[in-house]
Amino acid sequence: MSDGNCQSDDISSLCVKKFKKCDQNENGVKESQLQLKDFVPSKILNNNTNRKIVCALGNFRDKSGEALVILEKNAFKEEELNEKGYFSEDSELRTFFQNDIYGNYVCFPNSSINGVKTTIIYPATDKHIAKYSQQESHIIQETPQLYEKFTSTHIEKEQFNLQWVYNILEGKSEQDRVVYDNKCEKEGFVLLPDLKWDGLTKETLYLLAIVRQRGIKSLRDLDGSHLLLLKRVRDEGKKAILDKYNVAGSQLRIYLHYQPSFYHLHVHFTYLKHEAPGIYAEKSHLLDTVIDNIEMMSNYYQKATLPFTIREMDTLFNVYETNGYIKRIKQNVELIDK
Amino acid sequence: MSDGNCQSDDISSLCVKKFKKCDQNENGVKESQLQLKDFVPSKILNNNTNRKIVCALGNFRDKSGEALVILEKNAFKEEELNEKGYFSEDSELRTFFQNDIYGNYVCFPNSSINGVKTTIIYPATDKHIAKYSQQESHIIQETPQLYEKFTSTHIEKEQFNLQWVYNILEGKSEQDRVVYDNKCEKEGFVLLPDLKWDGLTKETLYLLAIVRQRGIKSLRDLDGSHLLLLKRVRDEGKKAILDKYNVAGSQLRIYLHYQPSFYHLHVHFTYLKHEAPGIYAEKSHLLDTVIDNIEMMSNYYQKATLPFTIREMDTLFNVYETNGYIKRIKQNVELIDK
């Protein structure tokens, strides 16, 4: 599903492919004929102001076909933080303001440490362009009525293929990756590393618990009858991660996505300090809060209005658009109050 | 309070204080005597490679006392992405590798667009140093009982200084920054750009609504009696932002922090695509969800268990530690189930 980080994810996965190829062909590569001064941008497809990555679509003068230029500011390297780097005579400091012990400035360092990571894809296909395009996202406040009328119908109609999930649960695939397995059909679950995680680096720890019980599509279906299951996932999941990875339960972010990326109940476990994709308030629901809500009100998730974000490329967007709950204004969409 | 982004948060909240003072003293401020070439770093306290922010501890040559230098790469601005900026003759492109349609390069752009945001704190106290050092974070599940016993007592004891908030509400400072003002003492509020935002770039839009009613410390205090106030903030805030910045309400993330950085009720408005600091599920509560929860159960926030993250440097950490709810294991802490 969509979130603010998808572009970086895409760029990274693309980079992996490229780097691998590069290892093989490095010596045969010729110098670039492409020059940034010849690039004429036509549209900014994506500007991640947090990670400082921008993607521009355009073309190169006197060349046919479209091109993508992706720029990313580099992270600071420790070896630049010395008298030859940022703290050298070349670093010009312009004062923005200064007050008491605090000062805000702009520093213009030596250009040698000012490189910007640049990726050029040329010629770029429509698929590349779609991949790097940030789509307008909007929040939908899904009432129980809207869920029944549109979301639920959409889920049934799409009949998402869950065979890969059943293969894991039935021991037919990924068995070597399983970290913990509770085989109880009603309250058991399988815990395994998420595919985004290398399985080693504590800083980016990311595991997924997939429940054995079938037919629980999402948060929306949860009620008092699932409390034991949810507590097992929380408590046994925490313990398994402490045993295997030595990360305390209080250092874990344990949560469900709404909407989820597949409609078979699963719970995410990430390291609290890790800014994993999709951990935002409009998408993630902490398991402890879910349990607390159900304990206070057994049918909380059947009564609550649940927000979710949606992009134009999501098929669910079309459902809400066709039914008049979202309208496009210029290149934007806007929710209509009904 | 603490989260993966705490450093940014801290920098920003610090800026609030600075800007306030700055507003008053602007004309009296002299140019900086500090030069980066005189800075001798002794330790990198924190290096956020995701957001490209680094914090170095050290001292200035021939000056006594310690100093903090915080460097942050700037996000890309659309006006830099043209033939006068990144796509100009000045942009030197060095090929890292090139393969088929993909190429990876390093670009050295004109130094004028290569500014790095720089904050200097000098002299820095131990408190500053602790604040900018990366610390272990943990989630606490705050039951109503724990709130009454520890958090509430802590808030009263600390008696956070809210004079700067009252100055804004009373029109004594930052009046030129106010975007919208509803003067009703019970259900009114002031909307103004957060100091993390430049007030211009749509991509990083960030405003703050500060309610006029005093004594509402946080989410914990909210109940049915505040529904009108909360709906006003939501609806009038959305409208003011649409009118002034042309951003639709459905493209806004509207939320409260728990714990908040100051204990006078305020609501954050950020652009949905902007990964603002502290928007994670363990810290942010969407205003729509807050309203929905109170409508379902008037005393929801007095009955609910609310999670919050805590770092060792937070004074609240000591309260929970002293009372045996958190223990340190090696350099870690762990929640004790009681």
Residue B97 annotated as lining a ligand binding site: no
Cα nearest neighbour of A25 on chain B: B99
Instruction: For residue A53, list chain B residues with Cβ-Cβ distance below 8 A.
Output: 76
More confident residue, A198 or A140: A140
Residues 6+ apart with CB under 8 A from A34: A60, A67, A120, A122, B93, B103
For chain A, give the longest Cα–Cα distance.
68
CB A6 within 8 A of CB A12: no
- In this prediction, residue A298 carries a pLDDT of 98
Distance between CA atoms of B300 and B303, rounded to whole angstroms?
5
The candidate with the shortest Cα–Cα distance to B256, out of B225, B222, B296, is B222
Partner-chain contact A292 B304, CB within 8 Å: yes
Structure tokens at A37: 């001064």
Q: Which residue has the tokens 């770029």?
A: A124
Task: Give every strand in the sheet of A189-193, ordered side by side.
Answer: A180-182, A189-193, A206-211, A266-271, A252-257, A284-286
Residue B90 annotated as lining a ligand binding site: no
Contact of B335 with chain A, judged by CB distance below 8 Å, is answered with yes
Partner-chain contact B253 A280, CB within 8 Å: yes
Does the pLDDT value for residue A233 go beyond 90? Answer: yes
Q: What is the pLDDT of residues B230-246, one digit of tens each?
A: 999 999 999 999 999 99
Q: What is the pLDDT of residues A87-97, one digit of tens each?
A: 999 999 998 87
The candidate with the shortest Cα–Cα distance to B257, out of A176, A281, A185, A199, is A281
Q: What is the pLDDT of residues A302-325, one digit of tens each?
A: 999 999 999 877 788 889 888 888
DSSP of A27-73, one letter per residue? GGPPPP---GGGEEEEEEEEEETTTTEEEEEEEETT--S-EEEEEEE
Which pTM does this prediction carry?
0.75
Partner-chain contact B107 A52, CB within 8 Å: no
Distance between CA atoms of B139 and A133, rounded to whole angstroms?
35
Give the single-character DSSP code of B235.
H
Contact of B56 with chain A, judged by CB distance below 8 Å, is answered with yes
Please give the average per-residue pLDDT across B308-324, as a whole number: 87
Q: What is the pLDDT of residues B136-169, one digit of tens each?
A: 889 999 999 999 999 999 998 877 789 989 999 9
- In this prediction, residue B335 carries a pLDDT of 44
3-class DSSP state for residue B95? strand
Does the pLDDT value for residue A32 go beyond 60? Answer: no
The angle subtended at Cα B160 by Cα B156 and Cα B161, nearest 5°, is 140
Cα nearest neighbour of B291 on chain A: A305
Does the pLDDT value for residue B28 go beyond 90? Answer: no
Distance between CA atoms of A28 and A25, rounded to whole angstroms?
5
- Chain B, residues 255-294, CB within 8 A of chain A, namely 255, 272-276, 279-286, 288-289, 292-293
CB B67 within 8 A of CB B39: yes
Distance between CA atoms of A178 and A191, rounded to whole angstroms?
6
DSSP of A71-130, one letter per residue? EEEPPPPGGGSSTTTTTSTT-EEEEEEEETTEEEEEEE--GGG--EEEEEESSPPHHHHH
Contact of A37 with chain B, judged by CB distance below 8 Å, is answered with yes
Q: Specify the DSSP element, H or E, that contains A206.
A: strand A206-211
